Homo-oligomer: A and B are copies of this chain.
Amino acid sequence: MTIKPLADRVVTKMVEAEETTKSGIILAGSAKEKPQIAEIVAVGPGGVVDGKEVTMYVKAGDKVLLSKYSGTEVKVDGVEYTILRQSDILAVVE
């Protein structure tokens, strides 16, 4: 089963806390509105969104920082995903 995000949306999977620690990134506790690190699993096609041309500049596999309450959560095949607009992504971490 595949989730294909529409327009400028991306599907992300939260990176496990353990993995986060391993990579040296420590997020500021579990405070509200704090960003989170996530991995992109699917990227929408972009194109004209709300009358404006949007180019997708993130790709599957990218690790990204996002606000905890950005997007909408969905559980598919037992895995939790967050679907959000590319413009809600704060930064890519490498």
Residues of A within 8 A of B (CB): 1-7, 9, 11, 23-28, 33-35, 42, 44, 48-53, 55, 57-58, 65, 67, 72-78, 80, 83, 86-87, 89-94
Q: What are 8 A-B contacts with C-beta separation under 8 Å?
A: A5-B90, A6-B57, A6-B92, A35-B73, A35-B83, A42-B91, A44-B91, A76-B93
- Asked if residues A67 and B78 are in contact (CB atoms below 8 Å), the reply is no
- Asked if residues A28 and B73 are in contact (CB atoms below 8 Å), the reply is yes
Known contacts: A35-B83, A51-B51. The answer to whether A27 contacts B75 by CB under 8 A is yes
- Chain B residues with CB under 8 Å of A2's CB are 93-94
CA distance A76 to B3 in the complex (A): 29
